Chains A and B, each alone.
Chain A
Amino acid sequence: MSNLKINLSQIIINNSIVNNLQDEKLDTLNPFTFIEYLNYAKIIEEDIKSFNNYQDYIRKWSNFTKKTNTNFDSLIKTEFINLFKELKLNYTTYEESRFLKNLNYNDDKDLSIAIPFFAKKIKEIIFLYKNKRDTFSKLLRETKDKGSITNIKNYITSKITDIVNEDSFNVNIISNNPLSSLPAKIQIDIEESYDNFNDYYDLDPNKPPEFYNADFNRDFFYSSNTNTISGNDFIDFEKAIINFINTKDIKLSELNELSPKIEINEVNDDFLDNTDYNDYRKTNRENLKIFQQAELVKNLIGTDYFYLSTDDNKNFTFDNLFEGNNKVSNLLNINNPTTLSIPSTANIYERDTGIFYKPTKFSLLKMKGGFNRILKQDLKANKLYIFPDPSSFGNITGLSNSKNETPYEFIVDDSVFKNRSSSFGIRNPKLDSRDQGFYSYDSFQQKRVGLNHLSTFNSPIPNINNYGIIDSHFCDIYGNMYFSYIKDTSYIKFDTNQTFENDRKIFKSSNTRTSYVKTLSSKLDYFDKKNTEKNIYVLNVSTNKYQPISSTMEKVFKKYNFNSLLFDELNTNIREINVVYDIFSIKTDNFTLIDSYKYDGDFSNTSSNPLILNNNGPGLINSISNDYIVKDIIYKTRINMVPSASAHHDLYYYEFYSYNLNDKKFNTIVSKEKNSFDYFNDNFKIEIPAKVYSIKNSNLNFNSKTGLFSLTVQYLDLNENTYLHSLLYRIINNNLEIYSNKLFTPNNYFNTTTFYTSAGLTAYNTGTISSTPTLLSADGIVVL
């Protein structure tokens, strides 16, 4: 506004783009209004003349701005040059950097030379975005997976590979594999942990706060975690307040510490504190917190509540105590309205629970049944009973395991249970389509029982009564079917007359049958069936003939007639048979044989080397494990007692063999021929404090996750006590590497008494024997 100049021939308009002054331009976007014009021009003339001058100004302004319009191109050029200046180029050479940094953007020549470099950068940006479009779906997936187990695995894998790939990683890794193969070789196992705290709902308010992970402050300030239902809160205000005051432990101040706790029986507001009211100041009784808490109870309970109140003469009134406001949301709050919101910090891992029995596979068990109720005879006088809706809930505990005292006796209504016509389902509750059922474990054997009490398989071959019932059947690779018959009816009777023992601890307030005394039966149990002699029949798929294995495989068995005992047993005495592809594994009394055969419509033998494992002869303890196939290799273990073992029968040859199903060759891993005696003496000397009488079973297993074989051998002593020998081992390059070698022995509850003093006999009843006792020298026992 300075520089006011008055020129007679020319009017200077200050702060305008039309003057030549170096002042601030205020009309760059819009021309001045007439008033503004008069203001900036600082002229005082006749109105009409001023207006003419204003028109002159407008014309000039218009000309001026038009001139800048024609210069639009240079504006755009400026915009592009700004873009070029912003582009951060990656210089490849020093010279390039020097040229582009010192570029004169206003020089056409320089610009023309530099533009290809800028274009290159723009192209890079274009491809950057293009790649982002390509990887978007992958990124989207990763984002969606965030927080999942898979994502955590991927994240850990990428972090591990990052560490190895980073330049700063100085450890020399020597590997024949390229680094890119690393992620595929990293295996991440994540074990999930679960919150198995069970008391978020229906929490007993008498539990200490530590139980639900709330320290005392928390318990104090957030007291609505647990709520007590106090019947009087809903029925009798006076009594409710009296009860409330009595919880305060009122004492006489005159007696100080020595004062007993006094009980009041009328309402005196003086005993109430400010904090007992909603606003922390004493007002009306309606504002007492206990009544608000009563409202809270209604909102948090999953059932209606009833009360039954008795007088001195046990006359009673019965009525609705309150109705739950939101029963569905609080379904699990039956006895206690709880809003426990503190997560438990004690987690349980899959490994602790077992792989299958994860908490996610657990569910609420709701026992459904019908019951009738009758009022108890011995109702207490002057008592207020409160209880959940007796038509919906019986005398149950809910999650809290604590229950209210109820004036009713609940009697199970038998008509809601299935009866005998439901076979195994007897005593299960009747269900309809709205119920979710939980079913007991059914054994395979149960399912196999047909109406005639014979086992049934879905096979085209009937049971042959003379030879027993079909115990198992399977096919070889050609489609020939093998059937093994055992002489057992395998009938499992549902026995309702058993003496069951009841256990009230498993489910509170209910009995669970845990054990029973097995009635003597001639039926074979599972183990008996496994070891019993079997009749094997084969259905030749080509000839459609169904014959005993001795005739079907006559040509195959002929190969073994060099050993007459083996040959005989194969024909007459097979205890176990497995066929995989075209390889059979047969266990007889004294032998285990694995070999292959050929089939071209008829069975014939091959020239392959069979694996024949024999027992170490009569009187010596022995056992051969089951077949266990891992990656097309059958593994077998033979346990033979060392003849020179001590009288305790404590030393055994543990011999390990494998048979390859593909090249049909067997392999000795550990054997008494291959390994030294010391090897067995060091590893397989069984420290059993009693004389081993037999090996009941030896079972071979394999865990693919750990890569460990597990051999469990069950030794029996003369008293039929069980000793378990557990051997965990790996087989690496045909070598046995023992991982764990443990023996589990039972506690000894047997007493030893010396009979040769008369004092020792006093504890026993004595009698005479009629026959001559004999001593079995082998076992050292006396048979009467």
Chain B
Amino acid sequence: MGERIIYANFNLKGFDDPESKFYNYPPANLNVLNNISTKISLDIADHKPINRLIITSNGIDGIGFADNTFNINGLFFEKQKIYFTIKAKSIDNFPVKNLPKFKYNEDVSHNGNTYNLGLSVLKRNGKLLPTTFYSLSDDYNSGGYYRGYIKIDSKFQNLIIKSELKVNDSEYYNGNTTRFNIVGNDTYNFRKINENNNQTQNYKNLIFQDILNNKKTFFDDFLGTIVGNVSSNPNSLGIKIYEKISNFVSNNNDINYSNIDNLVSLLGSLDVDFQNVNLKFPASTKRLVDNLSINLSLLKGQKNQFNLNFDDKGTVNSNFLGINKGPVIDFYNESVNLNDPKFIIAKERFSEKYALLNTNLISAHDMRYFDKIFDAELKTEVDYDPLWNFSLITESGSAIIIENDFFIIQSKTPSRETGYYLLSDYKTNWGWGLVLPPDLGKSNFFKYEKNTFNSSQINIGNEFISFQENYYRLRDQNFDPIEGDQKNITKFYTFYEYLSSPLNGNMNQFIDFSNPSTTIGPLTSYGKYKEDGGIIDNIIIKNFLTNTNLLTSNE
């Protein structure tokens, strides 16, 4: 309501100006003649009508502009005091102060000199979370605001605090906080490898004298409280010292894992410029800075993806040895469908070496298939079934099919469509690289038909003749059907089914996931790890809150 001008001068009290002394210029704080003054003029405006309610943590929400800096933080802990300040703001973001005091009341209507404020905490689905509101409003004369805090006792996601103000039936204002989460106090605890020393127990293990037996008070209540046990704070004497000794090398001289002090020292040895923070961290914070500055991938370690663990070293039921080796395969009768190929394991019997074999032989040279349908019905006697018009297969591999009471003899023919083949049909050209006698698995031989006569009229039927080595060229070279019998293969190899699941255990871990005090979870998302309000923030904020007694910790 009008323009005001504010003048400003330097405070020149400390200067002694001889000229002004001469003139006896009175004001001590302006005792320099001809000094520079400045002024600003400001408009004092009429009161602005209330437009909305703004909720921030400390009431700093910008005068004439919207300042989101002090919005409610996104992360709180169970039982932590959540402070908030509600202010009435005009449409152009000026605080409206010429209002009565706000007071929390479930009846939100305007009541005389007080504005009753409705407050509620809402869950994500809009449902009310019953909460007690504590007022912190003071007795200053100004109005138009409300300060208070809440405490929430259990974990929740995406809560908001909602405020409502009803001036009259036609004037109704409200405002919400940004969304925040309430997390548990124990959610993101972690222990490093070797932070699992139970020094109390170590002392107890040294009890060899009867007189020290049953001295629970001494060992648990006295010594134990000094050094701590396995579930003590990781900065307790027993755990810290043990960790320092066990992890000495990595703590000191491994650039990926070393403590900050040693990292700085290593960097210093390189004579590189870098910003040294040079802060004296309290012990618990230092542990966090040391550990959280390690790359997440290294913190997590890796999962053991090794799935060629075949050798059981003679154990029968082991959780660690030979876990990828399945039951023995019946090599003579096992057939493989190329449409559903799998891996099998071959154990070389003389060397006890294992090899993983691919039964997908589509690209193998000169692949012969076997018709599964016939094989399934392998029988020695004729099994006549007029309804199905179908019959049996003889051992010689021929099928006798009966159609319309006629016997039709059909020989066993390989079928590419069915895609079946027998493991016992092993050929060297399958590419398995098995070490076998020369004739075993060869396909480069002929077998003379029955009643074949050579030039001397001698029957050479059923005799074998092989190709020349490495050439498909016929030569007078006898094939040894006994040595070349594929059944011999089991004398050299045992075949097993392949179980592809890896052990999946933790490897090279930095965080000790097997420690019951580690509750940090699998850390699968780097985004959640580093984001504002993420895991790192959570751990540090909790560290600060507990150590400044704003939150009681379990650790």
- Which residues of A line the B interface, CB within 8 A? 73-74, 76-77, 79-83, 86-87, 92-93, 95-96, 98-99, 108-113, 115-116, 118-120, 122-123, 125-130, 132-134, 136-137, 139-140, 142-143
Contact = CB atoms under 8 A, between A and B. Distances in A.
B544 A129 contact: no
| 5 tightest A-B CB contacts, nearest first | A129-B293, A119-B540, A113-B57, A116-B73, A143-B270
A136 to B, nearest CB: 5
Given A76-B282, A76-B547, A112-B83, A133 B263 contact: yes
A92 B530 CA distance: 20
A74 B550 CA distance: 11
Given A128-B275, A136-B267, A115 B550 contact: yes
A73 B275 CA distance: 32
B470 to A, nearest CB: 25
Contact of B280 (A86, A140, A143): A86
A95 B67 contact: yes
Contacts of B263: 129, 132-133
A113 B295 contact: no
Contact of A99 (B58, B62, B274): B58
B281 interface: yes
Contact of B266 (A113, A116, A136): A136
Nearest to B551: A112
A283 B286 CA distance: 71
Contact of A80 (B80, B271, B544): B544
B172 interface: no
Interface in B435-449: none
Given A109-B149, A130-B293, 8 more contacts: A108-B81, A112-B80, A112-B545, A115-B545, A125-B279, A129-B263, A133-B295, A139-B272
- Most chain B beta carbons < 10 A, residue from A76, A108, A126, A142: A126
- Most chain B beta carbons < 10 A, residue from A79, A93, A96, A116: A116
Nearest to B282: A79
A116 B75 contact: yes
27 contacts: A73-B549, A79-B282, A80-B282, A83-B282, A83-B285, A99-B60, A109-B83, A112-B80, A112-B550, A115-B541, A119-B541, A120-B532, A122-B285, A123-B530, A126-B289, A126-B536, A128-B275, A129-B260, A129-B293, A130-B294, A132-B263, A132-B267, A133-B293, A134-B295, A139-B270, A139-B272, A143-B270
A143 B267 CA distance: 11
A76 B548 CA distance: 7
Nearest to A97: B69
Given A112-B550, A115-B548, A87 B279 contact: yes
Contacts of A99: 58, 60, 70
Interface in B50-103: 57-58, 60, 62, 67, 69-70, 73, 75, 80-81, 83
Contact of B58 (A113, A120, A122, A123): A113
A316 B378 CA distance: 117
Contacts of A111: 548, 550
Contacts of B271: 143
- Most chain B beta carbons < 10 A, residue from A122, A127, A132, A140: A122
B550 A108 contact: yes
A119 B537 contact: yes
B319 to A, nearest CB: 35
Range of interface residues on chain B? Answer: 35 or more
Contacts of A133: 255-256, 263, 293-295
Nearest to B539: A119
B280 A83 contact: yes
A77 B136 CA distance: 23
Given A109-B83, A109-B136, A122-B289, A115 B544 contact: yes
Interface in B383-399: none
B75 A81 contact: no
Nearest to A125: B277
A70 B46 CA distance: 56
Contact of B548 (A80, A126, A142): A80
Contact of B281 (A83, A132, A139): A83
A95 B60 contact: yes
A118 B545 CA distance: 11
B550 to A, nearest CB: 5
Contacts of A122: 285, 288-289, 540
A119 to B, nearest CB: 4
Contacts of A130: 293-295
Contacts of B289: 122, 125-126, 129
A95 B536 CA distance: 26
B292 interface: yes
A708 to B, nearest CB: 42
Contacts of A76: 282, 547
A463 B9 CA distance: 109
A116 to B, nearest CB: 5
A404 to B, nearest CB: 51
Contacts of A116: 73, 75, 537, 541
Contacts of B270: 136, 139-140, 143
A126 B80 CA distance: 25
Contacts of B75: 116
B388 to A, nearest CB: 60
A123 B266 CA distance: 21
Contacts of B69: 92-93, 95-96
Nearest to A82: B280
Contacts of A109: 58, 81, 83, 136, 149
A116 B548 CA distance: 13
Interface string B240-280: 00000000000000011000100100110011101101011
Contact of B62 (A92, A95, A125): A95
A98 B70 CA distance: 12
A130 B255 CA distance: 10
B83 A132 contact: no
A76 B263 CA distance: 26
Contacts of A142: 272
A109 B73 CA distance: 13
A123 B293 contact: no
A87 B289 CA distance: 14
A579 B58 CA distance: 85
Contacts of B260: 129
B544 A119 contact: yes
Contacts of B288: 122, 126
A14 B263 CA distance: 49
A120 B537 contact: yes
B274 A132 contact: yes
B230 to A, nearest CB: 23
A640 B472 CA distance: 66
Given A76-B547, A112-B83, A139-B270, A83 B293 contact: no
Contacts of B279: 83, 86-87, 125
A112 B81 contact: yes
Contact of B267 (A73, A137, A139): A139
Contacts of B83: 109, 112-113
A119 B74 CA distance: 13
A108 B58 CA distance: 12
A677 B60 CA distance: 87
A122 B285 CA distance: 9
Nearest to A143: B270
Interface string B122-149: 0000000000000010000000000001
A83 B286 CA distance: 11
Nearest to B81: A112
B300 to A, nearest CB: 14
A102 B57 CA distance: 16
Contacts of B80: 112
Interface string B525-554: 000001010001100110011011110000
B293 A126 contact: yes
Contacts of A73: 549
B483 to A, nearest CB: 43
A134 to B, nearest CB: 7
A667 B159 CA distance: 77
